[in-house]
A and B are shown apart, each in its own frame.
Chain A
Amino acid sequence: MVDILLDRIQGLGRGTLAAVSRLGRANVFLLEVFAGLSGMLTRPGLLIKQLFSVGVQTLIIIVVAGLFVGMVMALQAYYALVDFGAEDSLSVMVVLSLLRELGPVITALLFAGRAGSALTAEIGLMKATEQLSGMEMMAVNPIERVIAPRFLAGMISMPLLAAIFSAVGVMGGYLVAVELLGLDAGAFWSQAQAKVELFEDLGNGMIKSLVFGFVVSWIAVFEGYDCIPTSEGLGQATTRTVVYGSLAILVLDFVLTALMFGK
């Protein structure tokens, strides 16, 4: 009886210690990545290659998603506003929600699913096939050579992708509002310009997407680097990237929104 109880308590302690040490490894790893960023100055080609696979290849899903999110937003906003004769304010609702919330958040969620999982799988497979150890044997720092370019590419791509998402979303909203629902094009833009603040809304949205880019890239490269080098461990690591990444985005979004707009 006592033995079982002791086993349980020991299990709890082991789990806690494992979680704490994993958190510590993630932070030490982040510092090493920061130190490795300097290597990019002499080898910009590495970064460009990663910008392609992380940024350019995510572009299509972002554009399509942004277009449809903007169009749906316009339809729903029209439905809610037309009862009050306030359908001219539709653009304010569409643009503000895109810039403040949907742009950064949906882009980051798609980014975690599309680019984050690919980063984890790629790095994890390099670890499983001992390419990373091979680099160390040849006195090449794998963090500087493999991890840092992917991390930086993720951080650069996220704000750009979020901006494209929001811009395409506004276009989609414009298409539905003006072409489909017959609102006035001039009212659409002037209402948005009257209500949307450059720094308050666009600026804070960009800060959000930068933070999300940082967190998702960090989680993705860390999960890959820290995975158990088996096919099963690799699968778990990829899943964890998407799950932890998405949760981190949603929780951080609440915190950032409360800090930025919650006064």
Chain B
Amino acid sequence: MNTRTLELLVGLFVAAGLVALFMLAMTASNLASYGGDDGYVIKAHFDNIGGLKVRSPVAASGVRIGRVTDISYDLEGFEAIVSMSIDPQYNSFPVDSSASILTSGLLGEQYIGLEPGAEEEFLVAGSVIDITQSALVLEQIIGQFLYSKADEE
């Protein structure tokens, strides 16, 4: 086999490997969602975040508009502080918008649902959402249900 064919085939092999890597990165992994990191960051305090994780989605009316970037615990208010990055094109949420932790499906992953308010001012970088609703913890609900049943009798 002459040098040209040999080098051509090796070149094709290396290119195929790189294309495969690129394809896996683009279509099968979350590379595409890395781009939106130039959004603005807002915060919300929750009593209980349930199973929320960093990188969980933030959605309004079911449409993904951002992502949770950080979760920490505030020792002064004894609350969880969730920071979320909202994509820059969604920049007109009223300041009295509320955030609740919801579950997609019965046992699916948890996400933050943003419900717009009615104020004229908009949320900007660094804003804190005051009206929040914690995650529903199944054990607590079952516990409450059992207590209320017991009270009835």
Contact = CB atoms under 8 A, between A and B. Distances in A.
A49 B34 CA distance: 39
A166 B25 CA distance: 11
A156 B9 CA distance: 15
Contacts of B3: 45
B18 A198 contact: no
B: interface residue count bin: 20 to 34
B17 A161 contact: yes
A202 B24 contact: yes
Contacts of B27: 170, 189, 192-193
Nearest to B11: A48
B29 A48 contact: no
B29 A196 contact: yes
A170 B27 CA distance: 10
Contacts of A45: 3
Nearest to A153: B10
Contacts, number: 86
A221 B107 CA distance: 52
B32 interface: yes
Contacts of B30: 193-194, 196-198
Nearest to A195: B30
A: interface residue count bin: 20 to 34
Contacts of A99: 24, 28-29
Most buried by B among A49, A198, A201: A198
A156 B13 CA distance: 11
B17 A159 contact: yes
Contacts of A59: 13, 16
B28 A48 contact: no
A193 B21 contact: no
B148 interface: no
Interface string B16-56: 11111101110111111110000000000000000000000
Contact of A198 (B6, B12, B17, B31): B31
A193 B29 contact: yes
B63 interface: no
Given A161-B17, A167-B23, A192 B10 contact: no
A198 B7 contact: no
B20 A167 contact: yes
Q: Sort A-B residue pairs by CB-CB distance and give the 9 closest, nearest first.
A: A160-B17, A167-B20, A163-B20, A163-B21, A196-B29, A164-B20, A56-B13, A198-B29, A51-B10
21 contacts: A51-B14, A55-B13, A56-B10, A59-B13, A59-B16, A99-B29, A160-B13, A160-B14, A160-B16, A160-B17, A163-B20, A164-B17, A164-B20, A166-B20, A167-B23, A189-B27, A192-B27, A193-B30, A194-B30, A196-B29, A197-B30
